[in-house]
Amino acid sequence: MNKNDLAIGIDMGGTTVKYGVVRGHEIIHECEALETKRFDGAKELLPKLIEEINALQKQWPIRAVGMGVPGFTDIRTGYVHELTNVPGWLRVKAGVVLTKGTGLPVTVENDANAMCYAEWAHGAGKGAENMIAVTLGTGVGGALVINGQLYRGSAFGAGEIGQMSIDYRGVMGEHGNAGALEKYVGNRETAARAAALYRKAGQKVKAEECPPHVLAAAARKGDPVAVAVWDEFTTRLAAGLSACVWLLNPDRIVVGGGVARAGSIVFEPLRRKIREQVAEPFHKQLKIVPAKFSNDAGIIGAAAVALSRLP
């Protein structure tokens, strides 16, 4: 693999399929996104992608294709077990089909892993030996780099930070897991807490009016409700991440997603609260930083993983 090598990165989500030609950390040519629901599952989307990849191959010397998908995949074979939120993606040999149609080596990776790899290879995780990546949105995702390599676990499921319990008698998660972190720091929960506290304070503010960037701006202006919301938010997130730190003793945590752009309102207390609940060998080399890439991480990461697997 050469740093000028080109790969196609595909970031497949429940709403859109974004893709482009990537060199290192740059998308040098981004194509118009496809709407996921306009295709009847894998059987229609994969032929379309083959067509698009082959068109791009005529313009660029593409060496590999990387595809990030929201679900479990077998990285060795490009097999997709299931995409919970995308119909028509049950037991799909995506890697084999795309390779056959394009003649290129194809890597199909979990999307959180792809984003983590983008940060590790080219972003806020550069140089880390052991890294935790966490993405904060409606859901809470995560991925791990261990000894300088993406770590996928025994069934390609590793890194589900959002499902880890922070309260064994707490709010039920989606998998019978009481106290699932996702239920405490997901955007929906944060907005609902803000609306409830505003109501208590006699202010009529709806949950829909409380996305992370609005709450962050309000907190910076000293709004007491927004300040209280972020205080509780960082206490909960620090508890979940501290558990990861005790277990893995990493040197980097990269925080991505909408909340990551809230800046010091989140990062200053988050760093302090983690430091206060782990021993010195666990915090002295630990850097907790916002992700560098936002919407592009999926495309860049998928391409980077694919290039890293070239012989």
Binding site for a copy of itself (CB under 8 A): 72, 81, 129-130, 142, 144, 146-147, 151-161, 163-170, 173, 175-179, 235-236, 239-240, 242-244, 246-251, 276-279, 281-282, 284-286
Residues belonging to the chain: 311
Please tell me the distance from the alpha carbon of residue 179 to that of residue 167, in angstroms, as a whole number.
4
Select 24 or 269, whichever has its Cβ closest to a copy of itself: 269
**Cα 208-209-214 angle, rounded to 5 deg:** 130
The CA–CA distances, whole Å, from 152 to 6, 110, 116, 144 equal 25, 9, 12, 8
Q: Which of 220, 209, 283, 213 is nearest to 246 (CA)?
A: 283
DSSP for 256-290 reads: EEGGGGGTHHHHHHHHHHHHTTS-HHHHTT-EEEE
Burial of 253 per CB tally in 10 Å (0-12, 13-18, 19+): buried
Q: How far is the CB of 123 from a copy of itself (least distance, A)?
A: 19
Please tell me the distance from the alpha carbon of residue 178 to that of residue 194, in angstroms, as a whole number.
22
Q: How far is the CB of 276 from a copy of itself (least distance, A)?
A: 5
Select 160 or 296, whichever has its Cβ closest to a copy of itself: 160
Select 197 or 274, whichever has its Cβ closest to a copy of itself: 274
Select 102 or 135, whichever has its Cβ closest to a copy of itself: 135
Rg (the chain; Cα; Å) = 20
Select 175 or 221, whichever has its Cβ closest to a copy of itself: 175
Q: How far is the CB of 154 from a copy of itself (least distance, A)?
A: 4
Q: How many CB atoms lie within 10 A of CB 91?
A: 9
Q: How far is the CB of 170 from a copy of itself (least distance, A)?
A: 8
Select 58 or 168, whichever has its Cβ closest to a copy of itself: 168
Amino acid at 18: K
User: Quick check: 173 and 179 in contact, CB under 8 A?
Assistant: yes
Q: How far is the CB of 251 from a copy of itself (least distance, A)?
A: 4
Q: How far is the CB of 255 from a copy of itself (least distance, A)?
A: 16
Please tell me the distance from the alpha carbon of residue 196 to that of residue 206, in angstroms, as a whole number.
9
Q: How far is the CB of 237 from a copy of itself (least distance, A)?
A: 10
* Residue whose entry in the numeric block shows the structure tokens 């997709």: 80
Please tell me the distance from the alpha carbon of residue 85 to that of residue 90, in angstroms, as a whole number.
11
Select 20 or 162, whichever has its Cβ closest to a copy of itself: 162
Beta strands in 77-130 (DSSP E): 79-82, 90-92, 106-110
Q: How far is the CB of 7 from a copy of itself (least distance, A)?
A: 25
Select 27 or 146, whichever has its Cβ closest to a copy of itself: 146
Instruction: Give the number of C-alpha atoms closer than 13 A to the C-alpha of residue 229, restricted to the C-beta side.
Output: 33
